Amino acid sequence: MSGVNKVILVGNLGSDPQIRYTPQQTAVANFSLATTERFTNKNGEKESRTEWHRIVAWARLAEICSEYLKKGKQVYIEGRIQTRQWEDKDGNKRTSTEIVATNMVMLGRASDAGGDVAAPQEFPADEAATQEVPAGQEDDLPF
């Protein structure tokens, strides 16, 4: 049986998306997303805890994120967790855990973007851009 790697986040952008292009001209957008949990502690006091997430979007979804999302905007992100390792220019091993976005829905009021009230808009990622399965490692599915 295969594992499941699925993440669903609703939060606010901590920065405007930064877009760049690979040598093959594939768009990649990076931005941070804050999710805040509000709760009452055992003493009855209200508290909040904020987690920051690194989000990476590819291909057309990256371009859409870069065009429509701004710092502070509330969004729904679906994706998968990915951890990368590399060596920096000084030879130190570095690790980064990020969310690779497969779907994005803009939430909140349209006035956040300069209009009145609007319905959420959903932007799924291209199937080919989100499924990076190395050759020879495809699942043997019975259907």
Q: Note the pLDDT of residue 109.
A: 72
Q: In this structure, is residue 126 part of a structural domain? A: yes
Question: What CATH number did the domain enclosing 47 receive?
Answer: 2.40.50.140
Q: Which residues of 112-124 are buried (b: 16+ CB within 10 A; e: fewer)?
A: eeeeeeeeeeebe
> pLDDT band at 45, cuts 50/70/90?
very high
Q: Residue 29 is encoded by which pair of tokens?
A: 């957008």
Q: Which residue has the tokens 């220019």?
A: 89
pLDDT in tens, 72-104: 999 999 999 999 998 989 999 999 999 999 999
Q: Which of 37-41, 73-77, 130-134 has the lowest mean pLDDT?
A: 130-134
Q: In this structure, is residue 141 part of a structural domain? A: no
Number of domains in the chain: 1
Question: What is the helix (H) or strand (E) element at residue 63, kind and residue range?
Answer: helix 59-68
Q: In this structure, is residue 143 part of a structural domain? A: no
β-pairing verdict for 93-106 and 46-58 = parallel
Q: In this structure, is residue 47 part of a structural domain? A: yes
Q: In this structure, is residue 96 part of a structural domain? A: yes
Q: In this structure, is residue 52 part of a structural domain? A: yes
Per-residue pLDDT at 111 exceeds 70: no
**% of the chain surpassing 90 pLDDT:** 71
Per-residue pLDDT at 13 exceeds 70: yes
Q: In this structure, is residue 34 part of a structural domain? A: yes
Domain that holds residue 121: 7-130
For the segment 44-67, the average pLDDT, to the nearest whole number, is: 95
